[in-house]
Amino acid sequence: MRVADLIFSSTFLATIIRMTTPIMFASLAGVVVARAGMMNLAIESTMLTGALAGVLFSAWTQSAWLGLLGAVIVGILLSAIIGYTALVLKADMFMNGVAFNLMMGGGTIFILYLVSGSKGMSTGLLSKVLPTIHIPFIENIPFLGEVLSGHYVLTYLAAIIAVLIHIFLIKTKLGLRLRLVGENDQAAESVGVNSLRIKMLAMCISGALAALGGCFMSMHYVSWFQTDMTAGRGFIGMASAALGGARPSGAFVAAILFGTADAVAITLSMLSIPSELVSIIPYVVTIIGLVISTSFMKKQKGLLNRAKQNIFTVKEQKQ
């Protein structure tokens, strides 16, 4: 088996697209909260909970779309709770995120056990899967068709949402306010922007996006929920949001970079290369990417860093 045959093929590009999708959702979720001057550590557990909610709601309603809707609502609720405790009750946001990750790691198993009587996976439930989309015309183009057509509906949605988030942040009034709150929420308050409401909105958007990423795992990739099935993709998404400088376009490219690294790693693992070497590829790519992007962003003054500094200065002032 030759490397070239595996890598230079349309199916390899299709693999990249599939592996990128969940990271893309998590990454966009990270971008929105970062732009609002926050950090949502609970993206991973929101994904996991969304994956479970999608399966449970679709099994209950026997409709994949209602399952997806239910998962998005659960994702929004979960993030709203984190937002409320962190922003209104002034609990530490990072601790909150860590607590939610720990809670839902076990909580999803608990809920699964209550509903299906199993602690491992949900195969007993007749859950639905979302459809795949074959794009007419493009589907028939030899190489391009195999790469671009025949993907899951959430994959196309991820690309569309990336564009929408970009338009939302850059072109709309609400997006401008969100960025303003992220830059300096006291300045935003002084011109009459309700920073709390904006931050809650950012949390809710991030929850919805993370839940979509979770549904991709449980309603597309496989047709069931399984303990810890997101396997760290939420964290990789957060890394990719940081790598992309908290810009939708940057996060889009960074997510594809991570997806490619994953796809290369699994493809190379078919060959007689030591598996230890192959498994470090995604992490090496992360480090290289971070080095490149930070040196690139130095010129532009990294937005994320500034947002973080703002949080700390605000905290100091309050003290």
Partner 1 sequence: MVLMHTNDKRQENGGISLMKRLFAILLVLVLAFTSSALVMAKAKEGPPSVCVVVGNASDKSFSESVARGAELVSRKYGAKTKVIEYGSDETKVLPTLEDLSDGSWDIIVVAGYNHLENVEDVAERYTKQNYVLLDTQIGPGYPNVYAADYKGNEGAFLSGALAAMVTTASTDEMPYANPEKVVGFVGGMDITLINDFVLGYIQGVQYIDSEIKVITSYTNSFTDAGKGKELAAIMYRSGCDLVYNGAGGAGLGALEAGKEAKKYSIGTDSDQALLFSNDPEKANLILASQLKSLDEHVVQLVERIMAGEEIFGLNESLGVAAGVIQLSDNEYYNTNVPQWMRDKITELEELITNGEIEVITAYGMKDTDVKRIIDGARP
Instruction: Please state, in angstroms and rounded to a whole number, the distance separating the CA atoms of residues 277 and 279.
Output: 6
In the complex, minimum distance from the CB of residue 79 to partner 1, in angstroms, rounded to a whole number: 23
What single-letter amino acid sits at 30? G
Of 51 and 161, nearer to partner 1 (C-beta) is 51
All residues at 6 or more sequence positions from 90 whose CB lies less than 8 Å from its CB, including other chains: none
Draw the binding track, 182-221, toward partner 1 (x: CB under 8 A; -: no contact).
-----------------------------------x---x
By CB under 8 A, tell whether 143 contacts partner 1: no
Q: Looking at the chain, which runs of residues are DSSP E strands?
A: 132-133, 151-152
Residue (136 or 274) nearer to partner 1, CB: 274
Of 13, 17, 19, 236, the residue at the interface with partner 1 (CB under 8 A) is 19
Sole window of 12-20, 79-87, 155-163, 172-180 interacting with partner 1 (rule: CB under 8 A): 12-20
Q: How far is the CB of 268 from partner 1 (least distance, A)?
A: 9
Contact between 4 and partner 1 per CB under 8 A: no
- Single out the residue of 63, 140, 194, 275 in contact with partner 1 (rule: CB under 8 A): 275
Q: Which two tokens stand for residue 121?
A: 């996976």
110 binds partner 1 (CB under 8 A): yes
The answer to whether the beta carbons of residues 108 and 48 sit under 8 Å apart is: yes
Dihedral sign, Cα of residue 184, residue 189, residue 190, residue 193: positive
Q: How many of the chain's residues bind partner 1 (CB under 8 A)?
A: 40
φ and ψ at 137, to 5 degrees? 70, -65
Per rule CB under 8 A, is residue 246 in the interface with partner 1? no
Tell me how far, at minimum, the Cβ of 263 lies from partner 1, in Å: 8
Cβ neighbours around 201 below 10 Å, total = 19
- Taking the C-alpha atoms of residue 100 and residue 102, their distance in angstroms, rounded to an integer, is 5
According to the binding rule CB under 8 A, does residue 231 interact with partner 1?
Answer: yes
Report the distance separating Cα 274 and Cα 10, nearest Å: 26
Q: Which is nearer to partner 1, 277 or 287 (CB)?
A: 277
Indicate whether 18 belongs to the interface with partner 1 (CB under 8 A): yes
Q: Does 99 bind partner 1 (CB under 8 A)?
A: no
**Percent helix / strand / coil, the chain, rounded to 5:** 75, 0, 20
Nearer to partner 1, 11 or 63 (CB): 11
Q: Do residues 207 and 46 touch, judged by C-beta distance below 8 A?
A: yes
118 binds partner 1 (CB under 8 A): yes
Strand, coil or helix: 166: helix
- Token pair belonging to 313: 């200065």
| Angstrom distance (rounded) from CA 264 to CA 121 | 29
Give the nearer residue to partner 1 in terms of CB position, either 38 or 47. 47
Told to check if 266 binds partner 1 by CB under 8 A, we report: yes
Q: What are phi and psi of 152, to 5 degrees?
A: -75, 155
Which stretches of the chain bind partner 1, using CB under 8 A?
1, 6, 11, 15, 18-19, 22, 106, 110, 113, 117-121, 123-124, 126, 217, 221-224, 226-229, 231, 262-263, 266-267, 269-272, 274-276, 279
